[in-house]
Amino acid sequence: MSSTEQEVGGAEPQTDWERIQGSPEFTDLRRRLRVFVFPMTALFLLWYLLYVLLADYAHGFMSTKLFGNITVGLVFGLLQFVSTFVITGLYVRYANRRLDPVADEIRARIEGEPGR
């Protein structure tokens, strides 16, 4: 009987990938990812919702000219793009420091196992 057949009836994972996914290291990696992604997503969606609501309900404010033909609405619209790039940069920095080292350890352990 193979180890896979033995594991089918038991509580242990059936494949190597399920075993890896259930490991404490992988669980920690997912937690670290979620700690960044969920709050940042919520923050960006709130910022975007604010922009949409202001554009729809605060016409006077959004059409306020700052200088020349540049309005508050145009600046807020451009800041949507800026915030996307800032979030991307923050994620790359966070991933390099907090996610990639753990992922590299997991990958090294998997690739270093005999029979791979």
Cβ atoms within 10 A of the Cβ of 102, count? 16
Residue 55 resides in a domain = yes
Domain residues for the domain of 104 are 24-111
Confirm whether 83 is domain-assigned.
yes
pLDDT at 36 over 60: yes
Q: Is residue 2 part of a domain?
A: no
Residue 55 has pLDDT above 90, yes or no: yes
Rounded to two decimals, what is the model's pTM?
0.76
Q: What is the mean pLDDT of residues 26-49?
A: 96
> Does residue 73 contact residue 63 with C-beta atoms inside 8 Å?
yes
User: Is 103 inside a domain boundary?
Assistant: yes
Q: How far apart are CA 16 and CA 7, in angstroms?
A: 11
Give me the number of domains the chain comprises.
Answer: 1
Q: Which helix (H) or strand (E) holds 97?
A: none
Q: Is residue 81 one of the residues assigned to a domain?
A: yes
d(CA 27, CA 102): 11
Confidence of residue 2 (pLDDT cuts 50, 70, 90): very low
Q: What percent of the chain has pLDDT over 70?
A: 84
